[in-house]
Amino acid sequence: MAAELTFIENADLTRFNTLGLPARARFLAKVSNEAALLHVLRSVTAQRMPVEILGGGSNLVLAGNVPALVIQPCLMGRQVLSTHGDAVLVEAGAGENWHAFTQWTIAQGLSGLENLSLIPGSVGASPVQNIGAYGVEIADVMHSLTAIDRLTGARVELAAAACAFAYRDSLFKSRAPGRYIITKVRFLLSRKPTIRLDYGDIRREIERLGIVQVTPRAVANAVIAIRQSKLPDPTKLGNAGSFFKNPVVPVTQADELRLRFPGLVSYPQTVGVKLAAGWLIEQAGWKGRNQGAVGVHDRQALVLIHRGGGSGAQLLQLAADVRASVLDKFGVVLEQEPVIWGR
């Protein structure tokens, strides 16, 4: 068991969150297989204190020290499970790096995840947030997953339909937070590409790069170039990617806002209208502004940054100030994407 489990007391979490915020966990358990995970969950420590699950730390704000047992699933591996015509089922361990996995699928000649390239985090965390970008989200491509149910201690298989996916939301995030620990995720991809170019700047970037044959690899390269031009590298500048969800408002409210702000960036939905949170924040005057060691990125107002030496409390105060400003100017409530740990 020793090789499959690393147990650390008073563990420093600074390098385990992409914002680079300082905090310590009462205990940190790094597990590399399901047996080690079950061993930790059955331990006296897990029975006596709260348990938190740590993925890639890219959707996390550490507001202070974490008085909990933090479990980091480091289950690795990726494989093709089956092929039926053009449909291909692939599987990855929860600890796999998300971007590396997307690029592996493209190298296998598969389409479906190219628009989700360069999103930070782990495979196991991707269904929790129902990550999405450029017109594609996990709900569109996930087939099923394996998880440990903490209520029963049993290994369960959940189909995508059972995951209650919604915009940046899922069963694991809002309906049953903390109940399931994801160990493997499976995706249904295709050898016949379905190219998605109609969201954001992908088509313009494809043209700028002079790409004639639009393949999944070409789309991935365009997405990577766009993200690199707009979003800071978390290894160089602390950030958690998009800090706020794009709000969805009633059509009548969107029409009223459009009369007052003709440049309003919006996207029609089945119900309501989705507004670009980054545009709202920028118009409220926050783009490039700093508050001590934290601030709003100067190229993408949707991204809050930590330059080092700051705290989770400072970042959360900045987020609260941004929300209040957008509410005052537009009457729109912004909802934060990252979860908060600590005190």
pLDDT category of residue 186 using cuts at 50, 70 and 90 = very high
pLDDT exceeds 60 at position 4: yes
User: In Å, what is the CA distance from 302 to each residue of 35, 104, 322?
Assistant: 40, 29, 10
Residue 2 confidence (pLDDT) above 70: no
Do 137 and 50 have their domain in common?
no
- Residue-range definition of the domain harbouring residue 86: 78-190
In a domain? residue 337: yes
Show the tokens assigned to 147: 């998880």
Q: Is 170 a catalytic residue?
A: no
- If you ran DSSP here, which 8-state letter would residue 224 be given? H
Contacts of 145 (CB under 8 A, 6+ apart): 127, 157, 158, 163, 182, 184, 185, 186
Active-site residue, selected from the candidate residues 34, 126, 168, 186:
168
Same domain, yes or no, for 169 and 108? yes
Q: Which residue out of 32, 58, 242, 266 is catalytically annotated? A: 242
337: annotated active-site residue? yes
Residue 130 inside a domain? The answer is yes
Q: Is 180 in the same domain as 264? A: no
The CB density around residue 236, as the number of other CB atoms within 10 Å, is: 7
Domain count, the chain: 3
Catalytic residue flag (residue 335): no
- What is the rounded CA–CA span in Å between residue 132 and residue 274? 14
User: How would residue 22 be classed by pLDDT, with cut points 50, 70 and 90?
Assistant: very high
Establish if 222 belongs to a structural domain. Answer: no
Specify whether the CB–CB gap between 179 and 147 falls below 8 A.
no
> Both 289 and 337 in a single domain?
yes
Residue 257: per-residue pLDDT: 98
pLDDT band of residue 198 (cuts 50, 70, 90) is confident
Query: What pLDDT band is residue 3 in, cutting at 50, 70 and 90?
Result: low
Higher-scoring residue by pLDDT: 101, 194: 101
CA distance 315 to 335: 15
CA–CA separation, 63 and 45 (whole Å) = 23
Do 186 and 82 share a structural domain? yes
Mean pLDDT across the chain, nearest whole number? 94
For 319, residues 6+ apart whose C-beta sits below 8 A from its C-beta are 243, 244, 304, 336
**Bridging pattern class, strands 24-31 and 66-73:** parallel
Residue 14 pLDDT exceeds 80: yes
